[in-house]
């Protein structure tokens, strides 16, 4: 997707007890124009990020990667090192004509974008939580006799955790109707 501005790139190291995945959060914006609520709605409908054939006002995507090393010793194979990272990307509308609009609409917009951000933040939390859980899982895998088996097990476990958090994202959107029940409604 073609977003015009990269607002910020932030790298956080989470401080969970055992796991310390690298969480990289980036945010982009797409510009919308107009001075009326109806114009802004039309612009978001037209230019909002596409997802499954439909435009959304905002989105958050996350991608979790894992790497591990293992070592075989005395016919026992164990994981010796684990690295996990989450790349989290969000996109939001940026109202270019904000300063030209009247106060009432500005306030309405502020409230809307605040709720929108809160909703997207919950999606990104799922990505970060997934990374922590993957790292904890890989760190705690018991040694096996066969390194190949250990590798397959580790990858399957990580994949299962990602599926769980993907389902959590989908469920969150079903329950909140993509944020509508949380007040993410404009105008």
Q: Closer CB to Zn ion, residue 135 or residue 169?
A: 169
Q: Which of 72, 97, 173, 182 binds Zn ion (CB under 5 A)?
A: 173
Q: Which residue stretches of 24-88 are H helix?
A: 37-47
Shortest reach from residue 58's CB to Zn ion, in Å: 8
Non-local (6+) Cβ contacts of 4 within 8 A are 28, 29, 30, 31
Options 15-23, 70-78, 135-143, 172-180: segment touching Zn ion (CB under 5 A): 172-180
Shortest reach from residue 96's CB to Zn ion, in Å: 24
**If binding is defined by CB under 5 A, does position 151 make contact with Zn ion?**
no
**C-alpha closest to that of 90 among 181, 183, 177, 169:** 169
Q: Which residue, chain included where needed, has tokens 């990307």?
A: 89
**87-146 residues near Zn ion, rule: CB under 5 A:** none
Non-local (6+) Cβ contacts of 76 within 8 A are 143, 144, 145
Q: Closer CB to Zn ion, residue 125 or residue 153?
A: 125
Contact footprint for Zn ion (CB under 5 A): 173, 178
């Amino acid at each position: 997707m073609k977003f015009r501005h990269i607002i910020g790139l932030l790298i956080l190291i989470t401080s969970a007890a055992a796991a310390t995945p690298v969480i990289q959060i980036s945010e982009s914006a797409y510009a919308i124009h107009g001075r009326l609520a109806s114009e802004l709605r039309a612009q978001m409908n037209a230019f909002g990020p596409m997802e499954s054939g439909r435009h959304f006002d905002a989105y958050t995507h996350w991608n979790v990667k894992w790497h591990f090393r293992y070592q075989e010793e005395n016919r026992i194979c164990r994981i010796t090192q684990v690295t996990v990272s989450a790349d989290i990307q969000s996109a939001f509308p940026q109202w270019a004509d904000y300063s030209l609009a009247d106060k009432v609409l500005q306030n309405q917009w502020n409230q809307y974008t605040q709720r929108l951000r809160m909703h997207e933040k919950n999606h990104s939390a799922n990505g970060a939580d997934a990374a922590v859980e993957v790292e904890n899982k890989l760190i705690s895998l018991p040694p096996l006799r066969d390194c190949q088996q250990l590798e397959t097990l580790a990858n399957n476990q990580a994949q299962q955790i990602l599926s769980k958090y993907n389902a959590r994202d989908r469920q969150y959107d079903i329950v909140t109707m993509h944020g509508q029940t949380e007040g993410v409604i404009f105008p």
